Chains A and B, each alone.
Chain A
Amino acid sequence: MDYTGLIIVAIRCVFMLVFILSFLPVLIWAERKGAAFIQDRPGPNRADLWGVRLAGLIQPIADVVKLLFKEDVTPRNVYQPFYKLAPIIAMSVALVTFAVVPLADVIHIGGRDIPIQVSDLDTGLLYILAVASLGVYGIMLAGWSANNKYALLGGLRSSAQMISYEISMGLAVGVMFLLFGTAQLDDMVRAQGANPLGWGVASVPGAIAFLMFLVASFAETNRLPFDLPEGESELVAGYHVEYSAFKFAMFFMAEYVNMVVAAGILVTLFFGGYQVPFVSTETIVNHAPAVAKIAFGGAALVLVALGVVAVARYRPGKFGDNRDREPIVVAVLLWVVALGALAVGFLPGLVPGIPGYTDLTMGTILATVLQVGTFAGKVAFFAWFFIWVRWTLPRFRYDQLMRLGWSYLLPIGIFNLVLAGVWVLASSRWSL
Chain B
Amino acid sequence: MFEQTMFYLFAIVSVIAALFVVAGKNPISCAIALIVTLGALAGVFVLQEAHFVATIQVLVYAGAIMVLFVFVIMLLNLGPEDLEKTPRFSRLKGAGGIFAAAGAALLAWNFVSYAARAARVGPGFGGLAQISQKLFTEYIIPFEAISAVLMAAVVGAVVIAKREL
Contact = CB atoms under 8 A, between A and B. Distances in A.
A384 B63 CA distance: 29
Given A130-B59, A130-B63, A140 B71 contact: yes
Majority secondary structure, A binding face:
helix
A132 B64 CA distance: 11
Interface in A114-167: 121-123, 126-127, 129-134, 136-137, 140-141, 143-144, 152, 155-156, 159-160, 162-163, 166
A72 B132 CA distance: 50
Interface string B71-92: 1001101000000000000000
Contact of B75 (A79, A121, A156, A163): A156
Contact of B58 (A131, A152, A155, A163): A131
A81 B29 CA distance: 10
A140 B59 contact: no
Nearest to A121: B51
A126 B71 contact: no
Contacts of A144: 28, 74
A162 B127 CA distance: 28
B74 A130 contact: no
A143 B9 CA distance: 30
Contacts of B64: 133, 163, 166
Interface residue tally on B, bucketed by range: 20 to 34
Contact of B67 (A126, A131, A159): A159
Contacts of A123: 51-52, 55, 127-128
B67 A163 contact: yes
B129 to A, nearest CB: 7
Contacts of A134: 58, 62-63
Nearest to B68: A163
A29 interface: no
B38 to A, nearest CB: 10
Contacts of B28: 79, 82, 144
Interface string B53-65: 0011011001110
A387 interface: no
Contact of A156 (B35, B63, B74, B127): B74
A126 B59 contact: yes
B74 A155 contact: yes
B70 A159 contact: yes
Nearest to A141: B32
B62 to A, nearest CB: 6
Most buried by B among A79, A81, A122, A136: A122
A152 B63 contact: no
A285 interface: no
Interface of B: 28-29, 32, 35, 51-52, 55-56, 58-59, 62-64, 67-68, 70-71, 74-75, 77, 127-129
7 contacts: A122-B52, A122-B129, A126-B59, A130-B59, A133-B58, A134-B62, A159-B67
Interface of A: 79, 81-82, 121-123, 126-127, 129-134, 136-137, 140-141, 143-144, 152, 155-156, 159-160, 162-163, 166, 183
